[in-house]
């Protein structure tokens, strides 16, 4: 058991690249962190390794951090701790706590188990608020701690409606009252100062408008036409 907090490890650990993660579309690296004789793992996404996209500006790694900030502001703890580092071996980028997970599990297997539904509803709402354009099944990890973690959140916070997700199970259900209260609290903007410099002001405003619209509607949206899935979906 480490005596060093995850926050210190990520902020101060010396970074050694161990390898590139399978299934990654960007340069997504498994790194070892070492600090004061202790070691741990993290996921390093250097800006330089980002695939160019026509609709998002470079610097997707900042959106990974913004997603962590949003998850914390909601009080849901869905996104593993994610911080910026400018001294990585491939330059600036994000470092995210590595989740020791059962990589056989993903959304389509987890949704079969009712005990996960509360957490999955939160991830669903998080994606709706964040406007996640890429919630694949494999971006829900079942940690050894028993919690489901939402990873790969770089394609979030666009001002235009970009929602693509595999999580449509809850469409039409009322938003549970405790989660609605968390959304209300978000609109009070406490905890959102940390978004400055990560996403633009208009992106932040658009996010709050989405949260407001969800509260006014009171239900998980249905897509009307056909549900918009990412490709590939796992």
* Residues that bind Mg ion in the complex, under the rule CB under 5 A: 152
Q: Which long-range contacts (CB under 8 A, 24 or more apart) does 182-185 make?
A: 182/74, 182/75, 182/76, 183/74, 183/125, 183/129, 183/211, 183/214, 183/215, 184/215, 185/74, 185/75
Q: In the complex, what is the shortest distance from the CB of residue 25 to Mg ion, in angstroms, rounded to a whole number?
A: 6
Which listed residue (13, 80, 88, 230) binds ligand ADP by CB under 6 A?
Answer: 80
- Stretch touching ligand ADP by CB under 6 A, among 8-16, 83-91, 95-103, 172-180: 95-103
Taking CB under 6 A as the criterion, which residues in 153-192 touch ligand ADP? 154
- Stretch touching ligand ADP by CB under 6 A, among 65-73, 99-107, 170-178, 210-218: 99-107
The kind and range of the H/E element at 4 are none
User: Judged by CB under 6 A, does residue 28 bind ligand ADP?
Assistant: yes
User: Judged by CB under 6 A, does residue 138 bind ligand ADP?
Assistant: yes
> Of the two residues 23 and 197, which places its CB atom closer to ligand ADP in the complex?
23
Q: In the complex, what is the shortest distance from the CB of residue 131 to ligand ADP, in angstroms, rounded to a whole number?
A: 17
Which listed residue (9, 10, 26, 128) binds ligand ADP by CB under 6 A?
Answer: 26
> Of the two residues 102 and 217, which places its CB atom closer to ligand ADP in the complex?
102
User: Judged by CB under 6 A, does residue 127 bind ligand ADP?
Assistant: no
Distances (CA, A) of 23 to 9, 20, 63, 224, 232: 26, 9, 20, 31, 11
Binding partner of 99, given ligand ADP, Mg ion, none, CB within 5-8 angstroms per partner class: ligand ADP
User: Judged by CB under 6 A, does residue 98 bind ligand ADP?
Assistant: yes
Residues comprising the chain, all counted: 234
Q: In the complex, what is the shortest distance from the CB of residue 122 to ligand ADP, in angstroms, rounded to a whole number?
A: 17
Sign of CA dihedral 40, 105, 221, 165: positive
- CB 199, CB 131: distance < 8 Å: no
Q: What is the dihedral of CA 54, 57, 63, 66, to 10 degrees?
A: -140
DSSP per-residue codes, 37-66:
TEEEEEEEEEGGGPPP-SSS-S-HHHHHHH
Which listed residue (10, 67, 120, 151) binds ligand ADP by CB under 6 A?
Answer: 151
Distances (CA, A) of 11 to 37, 62, 110, 222, 230: 16, 15, 32, 40, 32
> Of the two residues 152 and 182, which places its CB atom closer to Mg ion in the complex?
152
Q: Which parts of this chain interact with ligand ADP (CB under 6 A)?
A: 21, 23-26, 28, 43, 80, 96, 98-99, 101, 103, 138, 141, 151-152, 154
């Amino acid at each position: 058991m480490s005596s060093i907090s995850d926050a210190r490890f990520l902020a101060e650990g010396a970074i050694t690249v161990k390898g590139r993660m399978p299934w990654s579309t960007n340069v997504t690296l498994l790194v070892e962190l070492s600090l004061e004789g202790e070691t741990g793992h993290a996921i390093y996404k250097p800006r330089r390794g980002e695939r160019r996209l026509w609709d998002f500006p470079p610097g997707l790694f900042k959106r990974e951090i913004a997603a962590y900030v949003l998850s914390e502001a909601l009080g849901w703890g869905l996104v593993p701790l994610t911080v910026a580092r400018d001294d990585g071996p491939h330059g600036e980028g994000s470092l995210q706590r590595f989740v020791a997970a059962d990589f056989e599990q993903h959304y389509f297997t987890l949704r079969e188990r009712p005990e996960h539904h509360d957490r999955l509803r939160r991830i669903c709402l998080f994606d709706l608020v964040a406007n996640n354009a890429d919630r694949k099944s494999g971006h829900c990890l079942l940690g050894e701690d028993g919690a489901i973690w939402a990873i790969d959140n770089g394609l979030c916070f666009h001002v235009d409606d970009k929602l693509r997700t595999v999580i449509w199970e809850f469409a039409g259900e009322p938003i549970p009252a405790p989660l609605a209260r968390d959304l209300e609290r978000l609109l009070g903007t406490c905890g959102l100062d940390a978004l400055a410099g990560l996403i633009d002001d208009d992106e932040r405003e658009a996010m709050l408008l989405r949260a407001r619209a969800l509260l006014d509607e009171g239900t998980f949206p249905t897509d009307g036409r056909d549900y918009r899935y990412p490709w590939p979906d796992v």
